[in-house]
Structure 1
Amino acid sequence: MLVVLSKALAFVLIILIGYICKRRGFFSPTDYQVVSKIVLNITLPCAVINSFAHFEMDYSLIAAVFLGLFGNLMMLFVSLMLTRGDTPATKIFYIFSLAGYNIGCFTLPFAQAFLTPFAVVGLCMFDVGNSIMCTGMTYALTASCIGYADGRKDKFSMKNIAQKLLHSVPFVVYISMLLLSLAGFHFPKSVYTFTEIVGTGNPFLSMLMIGMMFEIKLDKKAMGYVKELFSVRYAISLLC
Structure 2
Amino acid sequence: MSDLLTLTLPLFLLIALGYAAVRGGLFAAGDVRTLGSFVLYVALPALIVRAFSQRPLGDIFDANYVAAVALGGLVVFAIGWLAARALALPREGAALAAMGMVAANTGYIGYPLAALVLGPGAAVALALNLLVENLLIIPLALALAESAASQGQRWPQVLRGTAQRLLRSPLIIAIAAGTLLSLSGLQLPAAAGKAIDLLATASAPVALFAIGGMLHGSSVRGLAAPLALIVTGKLVLHPLAVALALQVFPVADPVLATAAVLLAAVPMIAIYPVLGQRFGQQRLTAAALLVSVLVSVLTVNGVLWLLGR
Give 1:37 shift: 1.4
Q: 1:217 to 1:117 in 2, by over 3 A?
A: closer
| Counterpart AA for 2:12 | V
Aligned partners of 1:71 and 1:165: how far apart in 2?
A: 22
Q: 1:49 to 1:28 in 2, by over 3 A?
A: same
Alignment of 1:151-230 (within 5 A): 152-157=152-157, 158-215=159-216, 217=218, 219-230=220-231
* Residue of structure 1 equivalent to 2:58: 58
Within the alignment, does 1:238 sit opposite 2:216 as a pair?
no
Give 1:201 shift: 1.0
Give 1:137 shift: 3.3
Aligned partners of 1:68 and 1:165: how far apart in 2?
A: 20
* Residue of structure 2 equivalent to 1:130: 133
Is the partner of 2:30 in helix, strand or coil? coil
Is the partner of 2:223 in helix, strand or coil? helix
Aligned partners of 1:171 and 1:161: how far apart in 2?
A: 13
* Residue of structure 2 equivalent to 1:10: 10
Q: TM-score, normalised by structure 1?
A: 0.83
Within the alignment, does 1:110 sit opposite 2:113 as a pair?
yes
Q: TM-score, normalised by structure 2?
A: 0.66
Please list the CA deviations of residues 140-173 of structure 1 after superposition, one character each: whole Å capped at 9, or x if unmatched.
Answer: 1455xxx522565453444323311221101210
* Residue of structure 2 equivalent to 1:41: 41
Q: Is the 8 A contact 1:131 1:165 kept in 2?
A: yes
Give 1:120 shift: 1.5
Give 1:54 shift: 3.2
Q: Is the 8 A contact 1:69 1:132 kept in 2?
A: no
| Counterpart AA for 2:56 | E
When structure 1 is superposed on structure 2, of 186-195 and 63-72 the one drifting more is 63-72
Aligned positions, number: 237
Aligned partners of 2:144 and 2:92: how far apart in 1?
A: 15
Structure 2 gaps, min length 5: 243-309
Q: Is the 8 A contact 2:103 2:137 kept in 1?
A: yes
| Counterpart AA for 1:98 | M
* Residue of structure 2 equivalent to 1:121: 124
Aligned partners of 1:67 and 1:239: how far apart in 2?
A: 9
* Residue of structure 1 equivalent to 2:23: 23
The Cα RMSD (Å) is 2.8
Q: 1:141 to 1:225 in 2, by over 3 A?
A: closer
When structure 1 is superposed on structure 2, of 91-100 and 11-20 the one drifting more is 91-100
